[in-house]
Amino acid sequence: MKDYEHPFFRPLWRRIAVVAVCLIWSAIEFASGTPFWGVIALGFAGYAVWQFFYLYKPAEENKTDTEPKE
Protein backbone atom coordinates (compact mmCIF):
# COMPACT_ATOMS: atom_id res chain seq x y z
CA MET A 1 0.00 0.00 0.00
CA LYS A 2 1.27 3.43 -0.90
CA ASP A 3 0.85 6.39 1.45
CA TYR A 4 -1.75 8.10 -0.71
CA GLU A 5 -3.82 4.88 -0.70
CA HIS A 6 -4.07 4.88 3.11
CA PRO A 7 -7.68 4.51 4.32
CA PHE A 8 -7.42 7.85 6.13
CA PHE A 9 -7.38 9.62 2.74
CA ARG A 10 -10.40 7.77 1.31
CA PRO A 11 -12.90 10.64 1.98
CA LEU A 12 -12.53 13.38 -0.60
CA TRP A 13 -12.86 16.15 1.99
CA ARG A 14 -9.68 15.01 3.78
CA ARG A 15 -7.65 15.12 0.57
CA ILE A 16 -9.01 18.58 -0.20
CA ALA A 17 -8.25 19.71 3.36
CA VAL A 18 -4.60 18.62 3.12
CA VAL A 19 -4.14 20.57 -0.12
CA ALA A 20 -5.97 23.61 1.31
CA VAL A 21 -3.80 23.65 4.45
CA CYS A 22 -0.64 23.59 2.33
CA LEU A 23 -1.92 26.43 0.14
CA ILE A 24 -2.93 28.53 3.16
CA TRP A 25 0.44 27.85 4.77
CA SER A 26 2.16 28.99 1.57
CA ALA A 27 0.10 32.20 1.44
CA ILE A 28 0.94 32.98 5.07
CA GLU A 29 4.65 32.47 4.43
CA PHE A 30 4.61 34.74 1.37
CA ALA A 31 2.61 37.39 3.25
CA SER A 32 5.02 37.35 6.17
CA GLY A 33 8.01 37.92 3.90
CA THR A 34 9.56 34.45 3.88
CA PRO A 35 9.35 33.37 0.24
CA PHE A 36 11.69 30.39 0.75
CA TRP A 37 9.20 28.67 3.08
CA GLY A 38 6.34 29.80 0.85
CA VAL A 39 7.86 27.97 -2.09
CA ILE A 40 8.43 24.87 0.06
CA ALA A 41 4.78 24.87 1.20
CA LEU A 42 3.67 25.44 -2.40
CA GLY A 43 5.74 22.42 -3.39
CA PHE A 44 3.96 20.36 -0.70
CA ALA A 45 0.63 21.49 -2.13
CA GLY A 46 1.68 20.53 -5.65
CA TYR A 47 2.87 17.13 -4.50
CA ALA A 48 -0.40 16.58 -2.61
CA VAL A 49 -2.45 17.46 -5.70
CA TRP A 50 -0.38 15.00 -7.73
CA GLN A 51 -0.76 12.19 -5.17
CA PHE A 52 -4.35 12.75 -4.04
CA PHE A 53 -6.06 13.73 -7.28
CA TYR A 54 -3.96 12.52 -10.19
CA LEU A 55 -2.60 9.17 -8.94
CA TYR A 56 -5.31 8.37 -6.39
CA LYS A 57 -7.47 5.33 -7.09
CA PRO A 58 -10.18 4.48 -4.55
CA ALA A 59 -9.72 1.14 -2.80
CA GLU A 60 -12.95 -0.26 -4.27
CA GLU A 61 -11.60 0.15 -7.81
CA ASN A 62 -8.33 -1.53 -6.85
CA LYS A 63 -10.17 -4.56 -5.41
CA THR A 64 -12.34 -5.09 -8.48
CA ASP A 65 -9.28 -5.07 -10.72
CA THR A 66 -7.53 -7.83 -8.74
CA GLU A 67 -10.52 -10.07 -7.96
CA PRO A 68 -10.96 -13.04 -10.29
CA LYS A 69 -14.03 -12.95 -12.49
CA GLU A 70 -16.50 -15.78 -12.16
SS3 string, the chain, reads CCHHHCHHHCCHHHHHHHHHHHHHHHHHHHHCCCHHHHHHHHHHHHHHHHHHHHCCCCHHHHHHHHCCCC
Confidence of residue 61 (pLDDT cuts 50, 70, 90): low
pTM score, two decimals? 0.74
Confidence of residue 63 (pLDDT cuts 50, 70, 90): low
50 vs 5, more confident: 50
Say how far apart CA 25 and CA 43 lie, in whole Å: 11
pLDDT tens sequence across 31-60: 999 999 999 999 999 999 998 888 877 666
**Residue ranges covered by each domain of the chain:** 3-60
Confidence of residue 21 (pLDDT cuts 50, 70, 90): very high
**How many other C-beta atoms can be found within 10 angstroms of the C-beta atom of residue 21?**
14
